[in-house]
């Protein structure tokens, strides 16, 4: 049977947007560049462990709804696996797998003693009550309790989860374990053993990467025109930090639309009016689309929303000279090539968004030692870690003549590959 040409094209397009496939492609390239044999790739191309669970929750109308959840543990050769849990209707097994590989790479780049993990539940928290969210959070922990723990796999917040959800999860785990176990999860409220600076850590890490990238490009942050796609945890804090540093935040967006003002948006007002899911553009009449937002005239573009936003369809229309990925997976492989051919400096997700897991690591260390640090200590340590990661990736890109994404994967995968070999796995 001859496949229809339209089908072949559609399949090719789907493959390009398949985050797991494209992650595997770059991991393979990185391992080849580093000279590792194929069995190392065979080990690292998928998580070592993947659990799918069904979570029954009694809803407010007294009916029982069954939700599907996942937990992926990519590789634990270096240390316990670590990574967030997202609550989103589009969560899929493939996405969670790719996200767990990205967590391994992040840990490698910023040199944390972890491998990557990730979890997700297929649900829409925007349509659930507080009580239902508590039920699903506790149910998820009961379902995965055997494979997680402070020395096995440590969850954290991700898309549409927050410190309250971490608190319920920690409480449920502590009940199962029969003692208080704060190091089981990070991103907790301060009073339950959370760390100063954790909530804004991802945006802090992105800000540090923007500053380093701007130095390389000779761009002053003060007065620079910045566009931020997404107004969730990362995007909103980032817009604030850039605004505080004197940058001109000319565009922001949420899932419903985008706002643009060439003279700079009133960030304080927008932060004040956003809801807890980061929605704010619905309050305005003059909005533009997310597509238009990405193509705005600006110096620094920060995709801080979801996957596959910069693709071969719009990469040639991006006007920024620096793109810093605060979201996981916003740029496809083709678009990465197109941006780097055009001389745009791309700081990839696995480096730019590593601030969150870095401060999560600090939180876990503080929980383990029972001694807590000041906000200044956390910030200073985070700064050192991110700058070192940035320098390593930038230098690798220059010396090995590869784009920043491949360089980041090379730096990120090395420790994990070496640890797996020392352990005699491959
Ligand atoms: N979910 C965040 C990420 O994608 C943070 C993970 C963590 O803190 O462990 O990096």
Q: Which CATH number fits the domain that encloses residue 249?
A: 3.40.50.720
Domain count for the chain: 2
* Bridge partners (DSSP) listed for residue 258: 253, 288
Whether residues 60 and 164 fall in one domain: yes
Whether residues 173 and 138 fall in one domain: yes
User: Please, how many CA atoms are within 13 Å of residue 94, restricted to the half-sphere of its CB?
Assistant: 12
Determine, yes or no, domain membership for 353: no
CA distance 321 to 187: 33
Cβ–Cβ under 8 Å, residues 38 and 50: no
> Which residue owns the Cα nearest ligand 1 atom 7?
357
CA distance 91 to 121: 6
Determine, yes or no, domain membership for 21: no
Whether residues 64 and 118 fall in one domain: yes
Q: What is the mean pLDDT of residues 65-79?
A: 98
Using the atom order of ligand 1, give the atom closest to the CA of residue 359.
8
* Strand runs labelled E in 188-305: 225-229, 248-254, 257-260, 300-303
CA distance 132 to 383: 38
pTM: 0.96
Report whether residue 186 contacts ligand 1, using a CB cutoff of 6 Å: yes
Whether residues 112 and 215 fall in one domain: no
Cβ–Cβ under 8 Å, residues 242 and 366: no
pLDDT digits (tens, 9 = 90+) for 204-258: 999 999 999 999 999 999 999 999 999 999 999 999 999 999 999 999 999 999 9
Whether residues 75 and 167 fall in one domain: yes
Determine, yes or no, domain membership for 378: no
Whether residues 167 and 223 fall in one domain: no
Whether residues 111 and 211 fall in one domain: no
Determine, yes or no, domain membership for 247: yes
Q: What is the mean pLDDT of residues 26-54?
A: 98
- Among 28, 82, 118, 204, the active-site one is 118
Residue owning tokens 């990070």:
186
| Residue range of the domain that includes 137 | 47-182
Active site residue 204: no
CA distance 33 to 351: 19
Straight-line distance from the first to the last Cα atom of the chain, in angstroms, rounded to the nearest whole number = 40
- CATH assignment at residue 74: 3.40.50.10860
Whether residues 85 and 164 fall in one domain: yes
Residue owning tokens 């990238």:
213
Whether residues 317 and 211 fall in one domain: yes
CA neighbor of 365 nearest in space, from 140, 114, 164, 178:
114
- CB atoms < 10 A from the CB of 326, how many? 31
Determine, yes or no, domain membership for 107: yes
**For residue 296, pLDDT beyond 80:** yes
pLDDT digits (tens, 9 = 90+) for 178-188: 988 899 999 99
Q: What is the mean pLDDT of residues 332-345?
A: 97
Please list, in sequence order, all residues whose beta carbon lies within 8 angstroms of the beta carbon of residue 280, skipping any fewer than 6 positions away. Answer: 231, 252, 254, 259, 270, 273, 274
Whether residues 337 and 215 fall in one domain: yes
317 CA distance to ligand 1 centroid (A)? 30
Whether residues 229 and 106 fall in one domain: no
Determine, yes or no, domain membership for 162: yes
Report whether residue 161 contacts ligand 1, using a CB cutoff of 6 Å: no
Cβ–Cβ under 8 Å, residues 217 and 345: yes
What is the percent of the chain where pLDDT is above 90? 94
Determine, yes or no, domain membership for 235: yes
Handedness of CA 348, 11, 52, 67 (dihedral sign): positive
Which of 318, 343, 368 is a domain's end point? 343
Whether residues 325 and 284 fall in one domain: yes
Residue owning tokens 């890109």:
397
359 CA distance to ligand 1 centroid (A)? 9
């Amino acid at each position: 049977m001859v496949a229809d040409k339209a089908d072949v094209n559609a399949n090719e397009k789907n493959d390009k947007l398949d985050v797991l496939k494209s992650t595997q492609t770059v991991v393979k390239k990185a391992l080849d560049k580093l000279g590792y044999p194929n069995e190392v790739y065979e080990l690292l191309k998928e998580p070592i462990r993947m659990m799918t669970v069904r979570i029954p929750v009694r809803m407010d109308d007294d009916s029982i709804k069954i939700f599907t959840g996942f937990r992926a543990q990519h590789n634990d050769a270096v240390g316990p696996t670590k990574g967030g849990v997202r609550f989103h209707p589009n969560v899929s097994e493939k996405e969670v797998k790719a996200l767990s590989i990205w967590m391994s790479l992040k840990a490698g780049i910023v040199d944390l003693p972890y491998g990557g993990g990730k979890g997700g539940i297929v649900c829409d928290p925007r349509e659930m009550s507080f009580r239902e969210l508590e039920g699903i959070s506790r149910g998820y922990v009961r379902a995965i309790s055997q494979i997680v723990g402070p020395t096995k796999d440590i969850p954290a917040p991700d898309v549409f989860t927050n410190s309250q959800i971490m608190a319920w999860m920690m409480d449920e785990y502590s009940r199962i374990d029969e003692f208080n176990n704060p190091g089981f999860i990070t991103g907790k409220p301060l009073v339950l053993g959370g760390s100063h600076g954790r909530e804004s850590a991802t945006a802090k890490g992105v800000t540090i990467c923007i500053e380093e990238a701007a130095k390389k490009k000779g761009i002053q942050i003060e007065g620079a025109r910045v566009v931020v796609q997404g107004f969730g945890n990362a995007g909103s804090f980032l817009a604030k930090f850039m605004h505080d540093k004197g940058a001109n935040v000319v565009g922001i967006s949420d899932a419903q639309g985008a706002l643009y003002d060439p003279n700079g948006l009133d960030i304080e007002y927008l932060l004040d009016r956003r809801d807890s899911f980061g929605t704010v553009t619905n309050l305005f009449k003059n909005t533009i689309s997310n597509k238009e937002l990405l193509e705005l005239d600006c110096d620094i573009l920060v995709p801080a929303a979801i996957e596959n936003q910069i693709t071969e369809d719009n990469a040639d229309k991006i006007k920024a000279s620096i793109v810093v990925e605060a979201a996981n997976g916003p740029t496809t492989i083709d678009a990465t090539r197109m941006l780097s051919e055009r001389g745009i400096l791309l700081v990839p997700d696995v480096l730019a968004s590593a601030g969150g897991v870095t401060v999560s690591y600090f939180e876990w260390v503080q929980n383990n030692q029972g001694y807590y640090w000041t906000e200044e200590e956390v910030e200073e340590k985070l700064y050192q870690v991110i700058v070192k990661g940035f320098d390593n990736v930038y230098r690798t890109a220059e010396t090995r003549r590869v784009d920043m994404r491949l360089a980041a994967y090379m730096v990120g995968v090395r420790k994990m590959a070496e640890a797996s070999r020392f352990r005699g796995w491959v």
